[in-house]
């Protein structure tokens, strides 16, 4: 998801160790909704769904009752991210029970999404490239933080019992970050099959692959608009020849620097490309508001030191920026339920000073 893996943000949390407990900062008049910060006027009745580890990229089923997500919770015997799903209204994870595993348990996975009918889930996995978790890139002192772009990622489909049904992509190169149109007919994903990180769309069965972005830079984390006619995504756009050369050199090593990204939109066929944000730093994990006229996303543009990520919302034309969440370290991966009444997201709130990132669901208040 990405949406790739949350390497950058988990590393920053590790370095600064600045997780805080929400309950220590909530005003007395909000005790009834103790997981919500006082300024979070658009959120109500926040509930925590996971308890431990790093849990992210939770995406709703078409019926709005379940979410797929990735987790590396060591208490579940995991060495790196694997794919699970749970019923949002009947979570049992606080009792230590592991939810249903969807992926193979081998390799590393990311970016799961329900297919129409809510009987199958697609996700990306490296398991065909090896049973072990692939190594994460190191970081030299003072060096840039880098995401790995594993060329063994391909996109697969499994049923709700974890039985593999089919493989949608094959061949060398990175294929991941796949999401499905609300219309149920198309999938958008990121691939390096042309030597760059671009967006592609394909039919729901994996046929009819078409490239829809073409500029040098990382295009990823894409989602369709509620009516399926547009796509919102994050992108890096190196401008100078030196920046482009650095980007391509990293990519040849299976790496990308995700610290400078902005939000873009285009039509579902790739036409009408335009930039929405111009905030600087890292703006990512965008998702359309149910109206189809606004976009919610995660950003650290307001953070002096760069480690604080909160949710913001902006009009599709780039006006009307509004802060939505006020956690002190990390809020990201927001997604509205199909009926627009709820928002699910990942956060470091209420982790009692640990580095855990958990899933939270809230009623959305306009």
Domains and CATH numbers, the chain: 7-364 (2.120.10.30)
The pLDDT value recorded for residue 17 is 43
* pLDDT tens column, 248-298: 999 999 999 999 999 999 999 999 999 999 999 999 999 999 999 999 999
Residue 22 has pLDDT above 80, yes or no: no
SS3 state of residue 247: helix
Cβ atoms 100, 162 nearer than 8 A:
yes
Which of 163, 79, 93, 173 minimizes the C-alpha distance to 121?
A: 163
The pLDDT value recorded for residue 140 is 63
Confidence of residue 31 (pLDDT cuts 50, 70, 90): very low
Which of 218, 281, 220, 225 minimizes the C-alpha distance to 250?
A: 218
Give the pair of three-digit tokens for residue 300. 């650290």
Residue 242 has pLDDT above 70, yes or no: yes
According to DSSP, residue 10 is labeled: H
Please compute Rg for the chain using Cα positions. Answer: 19
Residue 40 has pLDDT above 50, yes or no: yes
- Helix (H), strand (E) at residue 332: strand 331-336
Residue 233 has pLDDT above 70, yes or no: yes
- Per DSSP, the chain holds a count of helices (H) and strands (E) of 2, 26
- Helix (H), strand (E) at residue 120: strand 120-125
Confidence of residue 49 (pLDDT cuts 50, 70, 90): very high
Buried b (16+ CB within 10 A) or exposed e, 58-89: bbbbeebebbbbbbbbeebebebbbbbbbebe
Cβ atoms 309, 302 nearer than 8 A:
no
| Distance between CA atoms of residues 153 and 124, nearest Å | 6
Confidence of residue 81 (pLDDT cuts 50, 70, 90): very high
The pLDDT value recorded for residue 14 is 40
SS3 state of residue 105: coil
The pLDDT value recorded for residue 361 is 97
Distance of CA 137 to the CA centre of its chain: 20
Residue 360 has pLDDT above 50, yes or no: yes
| Distance between CA atoms of residues 136 and 150, nearest Å | 10
Percent with pLDDT over 70 in the chain: 90
- The total number of residues shown for the chain amounts to 366
Cβ atoms 49, 68 nearer than 8 A:
no
| Distance between CA atoms of residues 234 and 2, nearest Å | 10
Confidence of residue 32 (pLDDT cuts 50, 70, 90): low
């Amino acid at each position: 998801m990405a949406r790739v893996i949350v390497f950058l943000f988990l590393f920053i949390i590790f370095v600064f160790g600045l997780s805080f407990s929400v309950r220590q900062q909530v005003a007395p008049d909000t005790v009834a909704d103790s997981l919500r910060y006082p300024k979070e006027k658009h959120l109500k009745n926040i509930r925590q769904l996971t308890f431990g580890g790093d849990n992210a990229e939770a995406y709703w089923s078409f019926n709005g009752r379940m979410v797929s997500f990735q987790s590396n919770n060591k208490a579940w015997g995991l060495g790196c991210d694997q794919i699970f799903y749970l019923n949002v209204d009947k979570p049992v994870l606080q009792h230590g029970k592991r939810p249903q595993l969807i992926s193979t348990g081998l390799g590393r996975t990311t970016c799961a999404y329900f297919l129409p009918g809510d009987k199958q889930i697609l996700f990306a996995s490296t398991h065909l490239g090896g049973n072990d978790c692939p190594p994460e890139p190191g970081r030299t002192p003072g060096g840039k933080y880098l995401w790995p772009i594993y060329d063994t990622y391909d996109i697969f489909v499994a049923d709700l019992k974890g039985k593999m049904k089919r493989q949608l992509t094959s061949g060398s190169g990175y294929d991941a970050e796949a999401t499905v149109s609300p219309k149920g007919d198309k999938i958008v994903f990121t691939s390096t099959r042309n030597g760059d990180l671009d967006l592609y769309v394909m039919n729901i069965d994996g046929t009819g692959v078409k490239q829809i972005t073409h500029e040098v830079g990382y295009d990823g984390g894409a989602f369709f608009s509620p009516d399926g006619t547009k796509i919102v995504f994050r992108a890096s756009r190196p401008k100078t020849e030196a920046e482009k050369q650095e980007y391509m050199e990293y990519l040849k090593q299976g790496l990308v620097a995700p610290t400078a990204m902005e939000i873009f939109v285009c039509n579902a066929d790739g036409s009408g490309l335009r930039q929405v944000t111009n905030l600087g730093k890292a703006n990512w994990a965008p998702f359309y508001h149910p109206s189809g006229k606004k976009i919610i996303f995660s950003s650290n543009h307001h953070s002096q030191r760069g480690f604080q990520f909160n949710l913001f919302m902006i009009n599709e034309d780039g006006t009307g920026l509004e802060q939505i969440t006020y956690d002190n370290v990390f809020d990201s991966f927001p997604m509205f339920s199909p009926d627009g009444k709820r928002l699910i997201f990942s956060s470091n709130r209420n982790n009692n000073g640990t580095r855990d990132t958990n899933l939270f669901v809230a009623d959305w208040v306009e």
